[in-house]
Structure 1
């Protein structure tokens, strides 16, 4: 029996220039990522499409004094992924090889850390036939092979701190969390100065927090209450706390990708009403956000790192059977109840840049993961799995079995969810 057709979703790889503050470090993570792309080539006959669901590259994880890199600079720093000269020979790179194997069926959906990436940037990725990934300009994407049954989005649009903010920042929509992440990079520099030479952000346990800063949950809940009462400015409160923690003052200057420079005081002034701005944006798409969007975005997505509420709404309002997201860096298999959302399944890809200590941890071990959805036309079901790459014994490959048991759901009608028999 031929293999069932399937869709593969990667997200949150966070490839940078391999600066010490980057979560993704070529020396650590590249073998895992190359193994995932090799799997794509091996399974190409059954893969209908590879969708990158945001944050393929990272233009955020750089300290304020460092100008974030362009897409071309990131690509040049990682030729085995994007193509270039390696050992004196020009190669198409893993992305180019995937494009060839899938005959061009690769799609790029932007996240928050790569929201500045343009279609022209994506066109720099090419296979030997000159094909490039399809660049999606909207936050939601429906893979054609699923015929409306599957929708994917990075997930940052549901974060109060990370959602594009074209109201307060009409120039480029960069959200306030960009500056939180830049401050986190500065904090990383300070921590790495206490560690052995050659240490990077990937040497720090817990590296890769999606907001860029592990804000205390209780503090965020208290902040929400204060915001509702109009007593505090979110940007002022958070930036003030980060400046104090890193020993900086309000004249700290951020060098931006577009060539502009902003002080911390400028940033606070530029984002006077993060909550109101988010709610104004959400009010224009009520079917996607629902009521109390701002409160839920802060109290669930940012404080609890959970997209469950919005995934369920997206599934039920648009009648999709499977909703695939990224952003949280947590594959849903680590929290089984997240999969069960009535008439739809929520799948999260996790991420591909866990820190070295987290990959070796005995408790809550982190893996480089991605999502795979099989399309069972005979049984009229979607089968969702979280796959992971293992590097045990120095051999890197996609593990033969998923991280946990797959889940499946009817393609149409009531969302009967089950665990397929082995």
Structure 2
């Protein structure tokens, strides 16, 4: 089963064929970037998308945990690392088969403690760094852990710093570096950003977006090893007499149809088999509960759950503290590929005259990279993506991280942003760039 896993890090349309690090310029093995010839503790390490699961039989990370533990020990013993930032998807509440009761009849605190027990050495390494107090460890929520409460994160990582600015979201600027922004990147994605609106009547207080259900079904596919859906996907055709809302809903159906064809399941689409009991949801759902449909072809397109997802996006952006407005049409378009998330760094930060950020670091896409842009003032700015640590990443490499080396007081010194890889437990420099803050 392990060799058949598909990395379900990014919910939406996945662009097949994206290759790892088009900006790669170097491939030099670095012995130890966490220590230099000074005693100054100022380095900032950013990792993301670790995806620790409660059940190792279907968790996305298993084999890579040992390498992660070794790297965490290197960070812990460093004399120069000042901060370790976890940019989301540390804990995974989404990557669970559809028919499985995620909490097994218990609650989230028990589930989180089960993650800690399953990954005891890794959680222990994080806790050792936190408790020693030499390195500030900060957690920023991702989409796979957006519904996990701050209290339950603290339950297994007592004393960890948490950066939160809305439910299931956060942006962090390291101490003394307001020009740097670190967030997971899901805030701007209509499929996976927190959705407190669509189902507030049936699941009050829930923020689970539809991407959660996309993921549960895809994991069901992985566990079944199915090659063809048992049922045909009910056809929906454009409503030519409809408005923009109907046009967007047709595109939403296309997303669902693409997903179900990519990850076919043995279950019938009318079978009540998606077990919830999580974040306000109690019902067991069928695929048809979420799939847009028509009573007659060419007629009105309807949907039962997440009804109005295309119409309430603006309100959702307000709730989620999105600075620059994104139309629903653009939101669906940008949700379609990892590069759409990268583009948000430009739209929300570098092209935003209200932003002072010059270095932006996301996770989420599992496609690590460093790219440079000019901001609205013509100043050089750097976007970096910290990649992932899952065992199998079909979008590129795994075991990546970002290291920020702040500039000194020397007039010619610059802040350096470097992308590294830890494959085979060797730290390899992949790409880097620098600027003067």
Q: Place the TM-score, normalised by the shorter chain, in its bin.
A: 0.7 to 0.9
Q: Residue 389 of structure 1 corresponds to which residue in structure 2?
A: 422
Q: How far is the alpha carbon of 1:243 from its aligned partner?
A: 5.6
Secondary structure (helix, strand or coil) at the match of 1:61 reads coil
Contact 1:41/1:98 (CA < 8 Å) preserved in 2?
yes
Taking a change above 3 Å as real, the CA distance of residues 383 and 228 of structure 1, as seen in their structure-2 partners, is farther
Q: How far is the alpha carbon of 1:144 from its aligned partner?
A: 3.9
Alignment match of 2:307 (pick from 272, 281, 301): 272
Q: Residue 337 of structure 2 corresponds to which residue in structure 1?
A: 303
2:285 corresponds to 1:263: yes
Taking a change above 3 Å as real, the CA distance of residues 65 and 100 of structure 1, as seen in their structure-2 partners, is same
Taking a change above 3 Å as real, the CA distance of residues 375 and 402 of structure 1, as seen in their structure-2 partners, is same
2:323 corresponds to 1:288: yes
Q: How far is the alpha carbon of 1:183 from its aligned partner?
A: 0.7
Cα distance in 1 between the residues matched to 2:319 and 2:96: 33
Cα distance in 2 between the residues matched to 1:227 and 1:352: 43
Taking a change above 3 Å as real, the CA distance of residues 283 and 381 of structure 1, as seen in their structure-2 partners, is same
Q: Residue 90 of structure 1 corresponds to which residue in structure 2?
A: none
Counterparts of 1:21-420 in structure 2, within 5 Å, are 21-25=58-62, 28-43=63-78, 45-69=79-103, 70-82=111-123, 93-103=124-134, 105-126=136-157, 132-138=159-165, 139-170=169-200, 171-191=205-225, 228=244, 230-231=246-247, 232-233=249-250, 238-239=255-256, 245-247=264-266, 248-258=268-278, 260-264=282-286, 265-268=288-291, 269-282=304-317, 288-290=323-325, 292-316=326-350, 317=352, 318-333=355-370, 338-342=371-375, 343=379, 344-355=381-392, 366-378=397-409, 379=412, 381-391=414-424, 396-397=425-426, 399=427, 401-404=428-431, 406-411=432-437
Secondary structure (helix, strand or coil) at the match of 1:324 reads strand
Taking a change above 3 Å as real, the CA distance of residues 409 and 287 of structure 1, as seen in their structure-2 partners, is farther
Under a length normalisation based on structure 1, what TM-score does the superposition of the two structures give?
A: 0.74
Further displaced range: 368-377 or 303-312 = 303-312
Root-mean-square deviation (CA, aligned residues, Å) is 3.0
Taking a change above 3 Å as real, the CA distance of residues 287 and 355 of structure 1, as seen in their structure-2 partners, is closer
Q: How far is the alpha carbon of 1:2 from its aligned partner?
A: 1.2
Q: How far is the alpha carbon of 1:254 from its aligned partner?
A: 1.8
Aligned length: 347
Further displaced range: 279-288 or 103-112 = 279-288
Task: Give 1 or 2: higher helix fraction.
Answer: 1
Contact 2:192/2:211 (CA < 8 Å) preserved in 1?
yes
Taking a change above 3 Å as real, the CA distance of residues 287 and 189 of structure 1, as seen in their structure-2 partners, is closer
Secondary structure (helix, strand or coil) at the match of 1:48 reads strand
Cα distance in 2 between the residues matched to 1:190 and 1:278: 34
For structure 2, the 5+ residue unaligned runs are: 1-36, 104-110, 229-237, 292-303
User: Residues 190-234 of structure 1: CA distance to partner in whole angstroms, max 9, x if unpaired?
Assistant: 22899xxxxxxxxxxxxxxxxxxxxxxxxxxx99xx994614456
Taking a change above 3 Å as real, the CA distance of residues 300 and 242 of structure 1, as seen in their structure-2 partners, is closer
Q: Residue 199 of structure 1 corresponds to which residue in structure 2?
A: none
Cα distance in 2 between the residues matched to 1:347 and 1:300: 18
Taking a change above 3 Å as real, the CA distance of residues 21 and 278 of structure 1, as seen in their structure-2 partners, is farther
Cα distance in 2 between the residues matched to 1:157 and 1:266: 25
Cα distance in 2 between the residues matched to 1:314 and 1:365: 26
Q: How far is the alpha carbon of 1:46 from its aligned partner?
A: 1.7
Cα distance in 2 between the residues matched to 1:73 and 1:324: 30
Further displaced range: 266-275 or 318-327 = 266-275
For structure 1, the 5+ residue unaligned runs are: 83-92, 195-221, 359-363, 412-422
Cα distance in 2 between the residues matched to 1:36 and 1:341: 33
Cα distance in 1 between the residues matched to 2:192 and 2:322: 20
Cα distance in 2 between the residues matched to 1:365 and 1:326: 14
